[in-house]
Amino acid sequence: MANLKTLDVFFSSQSFHEEELRNKVVVVIDVLRASSTIITALMNQAKGIIPVEDMGEASRISQSVGSDNLLLCGEKDGIKIEGYDLGNSPFEYNSDTVKNKTLILNTTNGTKAIKKAVGSAELYVGSFLNLSTIVQTLHEEEKDIVLVCAGWRRRMAIEDLLFAGNIVHKLGNGSLHPEARDGAKVAFGLYDKFRDNIPEVIHSSNHAVRLKDLTDEKDVDYCSQTDICDILPVLNDGIITNFYAKKEV
Ligand code: MLT
C-alpha cells in the first residue's frame, strides 16, 4: 500500500482553487488528448513542452523565444488552431517532426488544467499510456496526492475519471486506500465497475463521440492503450520534460 498522506481526485479544472494544490503532488489527466499527446511528444524526443492557457500567451512566448526549434501546437474545441504548426493529434507528434524541438502547447482543457496546477509541490502528466510509471512514482510519495482531471469545459469527462480510478485502485493494491477522500472513492467505484471494458467506455465517451466528427478514430484507439511507454512528464519552471531523460544527462 502506498505511503501517501491523503489521496483525492478533482473532477474538472474548474472544480478547485489553485491554493488547494499547494504542497501537494499532482497528476494532471486529459486522456483525450492533451496528456496522451504530451507523453507521445516526449517519447519521440521533443526537448520540452511549454503548456499555455490561451493563444495570447502562446504568441507572446513564441515571439520572445523566437527559435527555429520551436513549434506552435494545439487545438480549440478539438480543431487545429489556424496558423499553428501542429494540432493535438498524437500522430502528428512523430520523431521526424518533434525530435529536439520545444513545443508550445495550447489546448481547450488540458493545458489550462496544467497551468492551474503550477503551484503544486510536484506536477506530473498522466494518461493510460504511462499508467505504471505514474503509479510507481506515486507509490514512493509521502505527501498529499491529488489527481486533477481536466474534463471538458467545467464538466467531468469519464475517460479522465476512469484513469484516475485506475491509479487509485493500484495505489491501494486493489482495495480502497484508507486515506482516500470522497473524489478518490468515486473514481475507484467507477473504475471498479468498468475495469474490464476500458477501451469501450473511452470510445463511447462524450469527447470520443465529439472527436469522431473532427478527426480519425485512430486517435481514440491510440489513447485507449495502456502502458506503451515509461515516460514521466514533469513540469519545472514552466516546461514539461521527461524526468528520466533528465536523469540520464
Ligand atoms: C483538451 O485539452 O481539451 C483536449 O486535449 C482536446 C482535444 O481532444 O484535442
Instruction: Determine the Cα–Cα distance for residues 75 and 147; give it in Å rounded to an integer.
Output: 23
For ligand 1, what atom is nearest to the CA of residue 75? 9
Average pLDDT, the chain: 95
What pLDDT shows up at residue 180? 98
Asked if residues 185 and 176 have their Cβ atoms less than 8 Å apart, the reply is yes
Domain boundaries, the chain: 8-238
Position 151 scores a pLDDT of: 97
Ligand 1 centroid to 127 CA: how many Å? Answer: 13
Residue 249 has pLDDT above 60, yes or no: no
pTM (2 d.p.): 0.96
**All cell numbers assigned to 64:** 520572445
Residue 68 pLDDT grade (very low, low, confident, very high; cuts 50, 70, 90): confident
- Residue 106 pairs in a beta bridge with 52, 74
CA of 108 to the centre of ligand 1 (A): 6
Say how many Å lie between the CA of residue 179 and the centre of ligand 1.
Answer: 31
pLDDT in tens, 98-132: 999 999 999 999 999 999 999 999 999 999 999 99
Q: Taking Cα atoms as reference points, which of 168, 160, 45 lies closest to residue 99?
A: 45
Other C-beta atoms closer than 10 Å to the C-beta of 47 total 18
With a pLDDT cut of 70, the percent of the chain lying above it is 98
**Which amino acid does the sequence have at 189?**
G
16 neighbors 91 (Cβ within 8 angstroms): no
Share of the chain above pLDDT 90, in %: 90
Taking the CA of residue 111 as reference, the ligand 1 atom at the shortest distance is: 2
For the CA of 34, the closest atom of ligand 1 is 5
pLDDT tens-digit profile of 76-98? 999 999 999 999 999 999 999 99
pLDDT value at residue 245: 87
pLDDT of residue 247: 54
* Average pLDDT of the segment spanning 40-54: 97
CATH, domain range 8-238? 3.90.1560.10
Ligand 1 neighbours (beta carbon < 6 A): 30, 32-34, 75, 78, 88, 107-110, 150, 211
Q: Rounded mean pLDDT of 202-225? A: 94
Say whether pLDDT at 219 is over 70: yes
